[in-house]
Structure 1
């Protein structure tokens, strides 16, 4: 019986750690200790002790009286993406896009109503827009998300079903206006975004198609608005489009194979 208790206790602790980490969401990425306790249902003293342990080990970061998932945990999760064919094949394209544009280049995949950074090549500028592998963002705010919405009707369904939250005054939350923008994105072949998710942030993205013509990923660049404005789009868009075409080719795509999944 003692041996059984000894084997069970670590599992119970891990389950509590999991409860704490799962209390953080896209809508509420920062929580107070009281909010974590309420979300998990754990006793206050137990929750406080476990949270402090998670902070000490880098699983959570503390900012004044709030906590969020630690960047250390995101970094540790990054090797999980390195075995993906997509990441391995597109990595050279990301580095070239970073070198050609001077800005951070990112590769995204979709999961439901969200997009996740699975690979990146960070800008060498001293002032950058921060991205990390594993970073999760909504679809309707930002250029990469707009590309998913423009070429994948299931992505649009998931985003609208989840709700179009407003992050800044520039976030599009009206479905009719969003559909107008997506039609323009399809016509242009790329999307640009300025301060839709974060003030002072800009991005430009294009679709990456797979072997059978399906939308496999999105590639793009992100930068502070002090270096990227709407006036820079004509210069930067061809770089992003060329990179998207090169990434698609590395995945086996040939021009003209793209599926029409927007109807």
Structure 2
């Protein structure tokens, strides 16, 4: 691994998580760098137009070039392009977040999202990455994934809330139930006030390559709604699968899983 490249991407990552512009000292501290190293990296990123200095200040912020790069990748993503209008139609029927989930290594990635129109909502931003076992979309992909993937996940179980699954035996039992019933439910494992339900999306070969989810506050997504939401998800997924004529080409048409 080229350390300077790694450090540059770490800086971009940390700046993307900030609520606003950052001081040089903050960027250095967040990335465990000296001020001098952070300054030189920021100068390079400025020259490449990924970072800019806020006018009349010593603060730094990201430009929209990172968005431009991501937008170009999304525009070439056949699954996202096909799924998006169906997600919009689903969001018209439910008052919660609607998401398309793919896998990136051991993480669930929100590849597309239609935000809830409700005043009270749960956070699930576009591009969010969460351990597979902690969210319903990730559980679906894990349930239908290879044993080698599950073994790696079981070796890296982490708790985010008191409800997070940290016992491999419990996780394996959950995944067996998901395969039996054909959908996953996650309750408070990342956000104690949130609940999600997901169903698998398959390519033309029958492989599960993504999941479509509905998520929202615990008090609105009661057990009495699960069957109704599962039916809506399955209808939506059937439309996506039918329209996705090109199928799955070596997993290059969605976020490519890493070797993890």
- Mark yes or no: TM-score above 0.5: yes
The alpha-carbon distance between structure 1 residues 46 and 223, as it changes in their structure 2 partners (threshold 3 A), is: same
Which SS does the other structure have where 1:212 is aligned? coil
Query: Structure 1: how far apart are the matches of 2:140 and 2:6?
Result: 37
Q: Does 1:159 align with 2:150?
A: no
1:232-247 equivalences in 2 (<5 Å): 232-247=225-240
Query: Structure 1: how far apart are the matches of 2:63 and 2:99?
Result: 17
Equivalenced residues, count: 224
Partner of 1:113: 106
Q: Of the candidates 97, 122, 129, which is equivalent to residue 122 of structure 2?
A: 129
Partner of 1:213: 206
The alpha-carbon distance between structure 1 residues 59 and 209, as it changes in their structure 2 partners (threshold 3 A), is: farther
Partner of 1:176: 169
| Stretches of structure 1 lacking an aligned partner (at least 5 in a row) | 1-12, 27-31, 61-68, 255-263
Compare 97-106 and 200-209 and name the one that shifted more: 97-106
Query: Structure 1: how far apart are the matches of 2:72 and 2:193?
Result: 30
Partner of 2:250: none
Q: Of the candidates 9, 24, 29, which is equivalent to residue 18 of structure 1?
A: 9
Partner of 1:9: none
TM-score normalised to the size of structure 1?
A: 0.72
Provide the alpha-carbon RMSD of the alignment.
3.6
Query: Structure 1: how far apart are the matches of 2:27 and 2:119?
Result: 34
Partner of 2:22: none
| Stretches of structure 2 lacking an aligned partner (at least 5 in a row) | 18-25, 53-60, 248-260
The alpha-carbon distance between structure 1 residues 177 and 14, as it changes in their structure 2 partners (threshold 3 A), is: closer
TM-score normalised to the size of structure 2?
A: 0.72
Q: Does 1:229 align with 2:222?
A: yes
Structure 2 contact 14–27 (Cα < 8 Å) conserved = no
Query: Structure 2: how far apart are the matches of 1:71 and 1:197?
Result: 30
Q: How big is the shift at 1:50?
A: 6.1
1:1-263 equivalences in 2 (<5 Å): 17-21=8-12, 33=27, 35-38=29-32, 42-47=33-38, 75-76=67-68, 77-153=70-146, 154-161=148-155, 163-252=156-245
Q: How big is the shift at 1:237?
A: 1.8
The alpha-carbon distance between structure 1 residues 91 and 199, as it changes in their structure 2 partners (threshold 3 A), is: same
